[in-house]
Amino acid sequence: MRRVTLACTLLLPLVSAGCGGDIQNLLAPTPDPVIVTETFTGTLTRNGATSHSFPINFPSGGDVTAVLKAVTPDDTTVVGFSLGTFNGTACQSVIANDRATALASLLGRATSSGTLCVRIYDVGTVADPQDYEIEVTHP
């Protein structure tokens, strides 16, 4: 019985020390993502569409906000505005507003790192070319 107690007494500190690092890593604070703001500009024409891709560099993702900052010369022009995933070729919409005007915003959450995109498109209301500015904030 004494050998079992002695063995347990000697092994307990070793087992505890081996687990200590893992527990510390689990309890360590997760760093906050670096928030990036990107601005995309261009011209939207009748029946046209444009996509802009951007990276999510934080492993666990984070909040993404896209704002249609300006549509000129007519800020009342209704356009399509979407946020989605970029597959290397196309922007696949996940969140869309088919009746957006200047200052419309889209809010989403990326769940991991990867490439997302924002898209602006004519929904049949663009008669004359419209310049636009889109601001995207993301991790």
At 122, give phi and psi (nearest 5°).
-75, 135
At 95, give phi and psi (nearest 5°).
-125, 130
**Token duo for residue 137:** 């904030």
With cut-offs at 50, 70 and 90, classify the pLDDT of residue 16.
very low
Instruction: Note the pLDDT of residue 4.
Output: 43
Q: Residue 53 burial by CB count (10 A; 0-12/13-18/19+): exposed, middle or buried?
A: middle
> Mean pLDDT throughout 44-73?
97
Q: List the CATH number of the domain containing 117.
A: 2.60.120.380
pTM, rounded to two decimals: 0.78
Instruction: Give the total number of structural domains in the chain.
Output: 2
Q: Residue 48 burial by CB count (10 A; 0-12/13-18/19+): exposed, middle or buried?
A: middle
Residues 125 and 71 in one domain: yes
Residues 46 and 77 in one domain: yes
Percent of the chain with pLDDT over 70: 80
Sheet containing 79-86, strands listed edge to edge, beginning at the edge strand earlier in sequence = 49-56, 114-121, 79-86, 91-100
Residues 100 and 60 in one domain: yes
Q: What is the pLDDT of residues 88-134, one digit of tens each?
A: 999 999 999 999 999 999 999 999 999 999 999 999 999 999 999 99
With cut-offs at 50, 70 and 90, classify the pLDDT of residue 24.
low
Query: In which domain, by residue range, is 24 found?
Result: 1-30
Instruction: Note the pLDDT of residue 32.
Output: 85
* Residue 47, number of CB atoms within 10 A of its CB: 10
Residues 20 and 52 in one domain: no
Instruction: Note the pLDDT of residue 15.
Output: 44
Residues 95 and 73 in one domain: yes
